[in-house]
Homo-oligomer: A and B are copies of this chain.
């Protein structure tokens, strides 16, 4: 049964203040809760229907004892339009982070990304492309808000997200001689530019792009070229992130593919 206290707790986790107070966040929906149970995150409570418990019995045993609730009870607590069979309260992990973890890696940094859907999508993209770390400026939207968790589709449990004063951390990153890239409307064409297989790529705010303070730290400004007479002035930040990550990672694939196996269209 869903107690009144639990319901209150769940509702408080919709807000950053509540999450900070409880040091917990919410994962909703069968797929995302399953990913949470599979991960190293500490599950505080799992509320699920008997249906979910039966079909995920091994996973449920691994964690805390699930609280069996009805679909109606989940609905009363859920933020989702079509609530499913499971909802979990999860501890926000305490992570120690040293900049040296970014050595010989390709990582992302976000300068004030505001939209939770964008942040969640960027986390999902990072996971797809094997990117382990995302550094967020302190004013980037909270990665543990329900909308981010939903959009990340479970990738939040694999990609490590760190919040820092971006200028200070870029200062440290540059001391380690890690190359810093950033996307701008006026930059070098990413498709014909030299790109190493490691470094950190900064993506900017939805409306304003990369801030002036941060742009000083960029070693190479990159642009995704537009085609034809496009009237579209910019791409959505998650879309631009996807294209850039794809291009950085493509180079790695192409470099590791024997030349005779690469089609001439690719290398021309």
Contacts and interface: CB of A to CB of B under 8 A. Distances in A.
A266 B262 CA distance: 13
A251 B261 CA distance: 17
Contact of A266 (B121, B125, B192): B192
Nearest to A250: B191
Contacts of A128: 224, 226-227, 230, 232, 235
Interface residues of A, number: 55
Contacts of A226: 128-130
Given A128-B226, A242-B239, A242-B242, A254 B232 contact: no
A19 interface: no
Nearest to A189: B253
Interface of A: 35, 38, 117, 121, 124-125, 127-130, 153-155, 157-158, 189, 191-196, 224-232, 235-236, 238-239, 242-243, 246-247, 249-255, 257, 261-268
